[in-house]
Amino acid sequence: MENEQNKPFIYDFTIDQIQDWIKEQGEPAFRAGQIFDWLYVKRVGSFEDMTNLPKPLRDKLNDSFRFVTLTEITKMSSKDGTVKFLFGLHDNHAIETVIMRHNYGNSVCVTTQVGCRIGCTFCASTLGGLKRDLTAGEIVAQVVQSQKLLDPEDERVSSIVIMGSGEPFENYDATMNFLRIMIDPKGLNIGQRHITVSTSGIVPSMLKFAEENTQINLAISIHAPNDALRSKLMPVNRRFPFEDVINACKYYIEKTGRRITFEYALIGGVNDRPEHAEELASVLQGMLCHVNLIPVNYVPERDYVRTPRDDIFEFQRILQKNNVNATIRREQGHDIAAACGQLRAKHMETTTG
Ligand code: SF4
């Protein structure tokens, strides 16, 4: 059994990597495409089911790789169609994945790490620190499992947001492999422009991402209009200061010609005053960007209150008056208390006593 645990997950591999392995086995290259088809189009759960592969190849696959097993610990469905999963991993860690229904399609929010070490003060995911990185395959499996849930309705996953627990740019290689697998035309074939990766502002990875030559969207969790306040809300700002993050965004825009999204969680009385909106507008003015205002979810462990509705609209109005494009994020799954990290935090409480 120990041997089994040491095998890599088949979902960890891009089609090129599978092709390299196939060649090493002396098999024809087209087998890689067939394997990808079984994994992501037919979505089988064992090598034995890949019936157009010769039996010796199926056996070799079985000896070399394993499937990710995501055990459904909890599945909560909201009135608005949002489904929130708490999945158990092979080593007993738990992760969250969310399916959101929009009128333009189904979006899946994936997790990239077990826990998170970034320490944003409004987030439940970081309360127990970082346990470990997920492999690319463990991120892929979240989408495959979501797609399987949609299969009986003949619906498909049409967009992906990397905004669940964890900092994807601190698990960069796995995140990039995950993205390559998602956009592969032979696999799930998700449009690049329908994928968004969100970072707390890990500057070296942002600069690297600018060079990747993709159409994938980049979102930055900014949450404050200046260095001092951002450091209070997001300790990561002491590692990568506000100004460096903004400069990295400008570099990304210049390099890719793509618009950046700034995520701004409004916290009552902390970062939601009109002067904060004015200051944010002065920083972002003239940038090819868009601000997504998010009324912060109540996290019982923290002391934050929600911004009153009128103040949210006022914040948006000030940004727009200064020609900074801003929208207010529509909340989903509110009736299942499904803020990021809360389900897992609850689960940890019950399993660790
Ligand atoms: S908001 Fe994201 S980066 Fe910040 S602590 Fe939570 S999971 Fe980590």
Cα of 221 from ligand 1 centre, angstroms: 9
Average pLDDT in the chain:
92
> Is the Cβ atom of 237 under 6 angstroms away from ligand 1?
no
Query: Which tens digit of pLDDT belongs to each residue from 257-303?
Result: 999 999 999 999 999 999 999 999 999 999 999 999 998 876 666 67
> Do the domains spanning 2-64 and 71-352 agree at the CATH topology level?
no
Which residue ranges make up each domain of the chain?
2-64, 71-352
Q: How many alpha carbons lie under 13 Å from residue 278 in its C-beta half-sphere?
A: 3
Mean of pLDDT values over 100-106: 92
Strands 94-102 and 105-109: antiparallel
Predicted confidence band of residue 1 (pLDDT cuts 50, 70, 90): very low
Cα of 118 from ligand 1 centre, angstroms: 6
User: Which of the residues are catalytic?
Assistant: 96, 340
Q: What are phi and psi of 73, to 5 degrees?
A: -85, -45
Domain covering 71-352 assigned CATH 3.60.21.10 in the classification: no
Query: Which tens digit of pLDDT belongs to each residue from 110-125?
Result: 999 999 999 998 888 8
Number of separate helices (H) and strands (E) present in the chain: 13, 12
Locate tokens 């509705």: which residue?
309
Nearest residue to 110 via CA among 95, 129, 89: 95
Look at the pTM and tell me if it is higher than 0.75.
yes
- CA angle 213/218/222 to nearest 5° reads 145
Q: Enter the CATH code of domain 2-64.
A: 1.10.150.530
> Is the Cβ atom of 14 under 6 angstroms away from ligand 1?
no
Mean of pLDDT values over 3-11: 89
- CA angle 74/75/79 to nearest 5° reads 140
Query: Which tens digit of pLDDT belongs to each residue from 29-78?
Result: 999 999 999 999 999 999 999 999 999 999 999 999 999 989 999 999 98
Q: What are phi and psi of 238, to 5 degrees?
A: -75, -30
> Is the Cβ atom of 118 under 6 angstroms away from ligand 1?
yes
Query: Which tens digit of pLDDT belongs to each residue from 234-243?
Result: 999 999 999 9
pLDDT of 353 strictly over 60: no
**H or E stretch at 221:** strand 217-221
Cα of 307 from ligand 1 centre, angstroms: 20
Mean of pLDDT values over 178-204: 97
